[in-house]
Amino acid sequence: MQIEVKNIEDLKNVVECIKNSGKNIIILSGTLGSGKTTLVKEFVKLLGLSDEVTSPTFAIQNVYGEKVYHYDLYNKGVDEFLALGMLEELEKEGYHFLEWGEGLEDILKLYGIDYLLIKITLEGDKRIFECQN
């Protein structure tokens, strides 16, 4: 499913796609500045949480409330994510957003872990969010 996003309000459609997917592990794929962290911010806001959402680029993981886990593998990479035992974090109840987590797809499949892939592309003044089950 492709969702065109021209403003912050349009992100509610992507949030609904995530909720309706029935999946709690979400891999966010897109270039720098494509809106990965902004999507997580809107998701947290629409859940009614008041936590400040920031990119976990240097921390590798941020947790919002007890429901949302936010990871960023940009600096650390998949190998360090695995070496730190972070794969086990994905077993916790809640939503798990993985920025730059494309390299985890084969590992998740190997262990039978279901996930939703969201590819974000820029097109002029809008973004296209493609939810791939």
pLDDT for 112 equals 93
List the pLDDT tens digit at each of the 133 positions of the chain.
Answer: 899 999 999 999 999 999 999 999 999 999 888 999 999 999 999 999 999 998 887 888 999 998 999 999 998 888 889 999 899 999 999 999 999 999 899 999 999 999 999 999 999 889 999 998 7
Q: Determine the longest span between alpha carbons in the chain, in angstroms.
A: 39
pLDDT for 56 equals 85
pLDDT for 33 equals 86
Backbone angles phi, psi at 37, to 5 degrees: -70, -35
Alpha-carbon gap, residue 126 to 133, rounded angstroms: 23
pLDDT for 7 equals 94
pLDDT for 133 equals 76
Question: Which domains does the chain possess?
Answer: 23-98 (3.40.50.300)
For residues 118 and 28, is the Cβ–Cβ distance under 8 A?
yes
